[in-house]
Amino acid sequence: MALLRSRVESANQPDCSFPLNNLPYGVFSRPGEAPRCGVAIGDLILDLAGCEAQGLIDAGGTFAQPQLNGFMALGRARWGAVRARLTELLAEGAAGDLPLVAMADATLHLPIRVTEYTDFYASRHHAFNVGMLFRGPENALPPQWTHMPIGYNGRASSVVVSGTPIRRPMGQVKGEAGPEWVPCRRLDLELELGAVVGADSRMGERVGVEQAEAMIFGYVLLNDWSARDVQAWEYQPLGPFQSKALGTTIGAWVVTQAALEPFRSPGAARLNPLLPYLAEERPGLYDLAVGWSMNGQVMARTNFNVMYYSSAQQLAHHTSSGCPMRVGDLLGSGTISGPSRDQAGALLEMTEGGKLPVMVRGEPRLFIEDGDEIGLFAEAQGDGYRIGFGPCLGRVLPARP
């Protein structure tokens, strides 16, 4: 697919993250105004609540709400109809006035009300590298890992939008003479994508992979902040707890499945066949260049298609016990890491557990220090256009002892 030309000239530039081909959804406000839903187009935001008020689109009044949950709950057919109408309204040569707002004048908010948050562990490179550091090479990859998506239930209450500061946590860690209560010394990031669930499932109902894919509204950048020293002390026998509860940062823009459709890509090669309930009929991953930076310096680049499990497979497995899903559930992909150090999605891997420093702005680093800003980025490159996700930023504040 080639660039779809827009009446918004900035959206027609080849390096623009938000061309007409993209149309990601978010929530924004201006001074003195209530948050409402919008769509990014070039360097502007189309005010969707304003469009509804003018009778230009029909989303049942949901775009006046301060989150996308109401619109998502209308269902996949309405998602497609609204996207088609927005494409028509924003096309080059379209007539009529539109309620467009300069992105520079807007404040962006959390785009969804996060009902539940589950984080997975779907990069074989990341799983092996971290397992080797915690358990040694012979037990690095759990025997079930290549047979089913592994995850844990996180905290929806600590999911925040890009730009929100993250407080360094206090935590209990292993000391030489016993447990210690200290500020986290090994604060880390995790480069991920988050799948936003846009449809409910009933308790006791199992969802197949094809149905699971139809339930996914779109994707956001996601940074699963991690207190590695706390994690190493607490994770056995039930897995991460407070080491993962300090905060999860997501981007402000939800990139829809429809925008990513031209970029479907197979994932990592299978080590063994999956059970039938996890089988995909078509590739469930995407050719997305992803990476992260520290204090403006790019530290790593890789691709989302290195992952072993797709979001649809993760969602299908999540319901395999009959667990009900809700509109607004957020599924973290797990850290996206390639095979080399410069493709690592976390400092734990990049520094080999704090043994090999990396240089950041001329200074050696092992983990994240107070005042550091971590940024994530992702984009898919099309014919004369790109599909971007916008920034996913978080700056670290000192701990409160």
- What structural domains and CATH numbers belong to the chain? 9-109 (2.30.30.230), 117-397 (3.90.850.10)
| Cα 144 → chain centroid | 25
| Cα 199 → chain centroid | 18
- Give the per-residue pLDDT at 25: 99
User: Of the residues 109, 125, 126, 318, which is catalytic?
Assistant: 126
- Give the per-residue pLDDT at 221: 98
| Residue 302 tokens, joined | 């890789």
Instruction: Please count the CA atoms within 13 angstroms of the CA of 265 that sit on its side-chain side.
Output: 15
Residues 6+ apart with CB under 8 A from 259: 21, 22, 23, 24, 218, 387
pLDDT digits (tens), the chain, 401 positions:
899 999 999 999 999 999 999 999 999 999 999 999 999 999 999 999 999 999 999 999 999 999 999 999 999 999 999 999 999 999 999 999 999 999 999 999 999 999 999 999 989 888 888 878 777 777 778 889 999 999 999 999 999 999 999 999 999 999 999 999 999 999 999 999 999 999 999 999 999 999 999 999 999 999 999 999 999 999 888 889 999 999 999 999 999 999 999 999 999 999 999 999 999 999 999 999 999 999 999 999 999 999 999 999 999 999 999 999 999 999 999 999 999 999 999 999 999 999 999 999 999 999 999 999 999 999 999 999 999 999 999 999 999 98
- Give the per-residue pLDDT at 274: 97
d(CA 264, CA 293): 26
d(CA 21, CA 32): 31
- Give the per-residue pLDDT at 132: 80
| Cα 333 → chain centroid | 7
d(CA 64, CA 371): 36
d(CA 17, CA 107): 18
* Pairing label, strands 187-188, 226-227: antiparallel
Residues 6+ apart with CB under 8 A from 184: 168, 169, 170, 171, 173, 227, 228, 229, 230, 246, 399
CA-nearest of 193, 199, 195 to 71 is 199
126 is catalytic: yes
d(CA 397, CA 282): 44
- Give the per-residue pLDDT at 389: 98
- How many residues comprise the chain? 401
Number of helical H runs and strand E runs in the chain: 9, 27
- Give the per-residue pLDDT at 128: 83
CA-nearest of 15, 2, 18, 14 to 90 is 18
Burial class, 270, CB count within 10 angstroms (exposed 0-12 / middle 13-18 / buried 19+): exposed
- Give the per-residue pLDDT at 142: 85
Helix (H, G, I), strand (E, B) or coil at 149: coil
- Give the per-residue pLDDT at 35: 98
Residues 6+ apart with CB under 8 A from 124: 141, 145, 146, 268, 308
- Give the per-residue pLDDT at 148: 96
d(CA 51, CA 365): 48
Instruction: Supply the pTM of this predicted model.
Output: 0.97
- Give the per-residue pLDDT at 301: 98
Scan for tokens 């779809």, then name that residue: 4
d(CA 96, CA 101): 16
| Cross-strand bridge partners of residue 153 | 118
Scan for tokens 């936003």, then name that residue: 196
Residues 6+ apart with CB under 8 A from 47: 36, 38, 99, 100, 101
* Pairing label, strands 166-167, 392-397: parallel
Task: Assess contact for 287 and 50: CB atoms under 8 A.
Answer: no
CA-nearest of 383, 373, 346 to 226 is 346
Task: Assess contact for 263 and 204: CB atoms under 8 A.
Answer: no
Scan for tokens 């012979």, then name that residue: 138
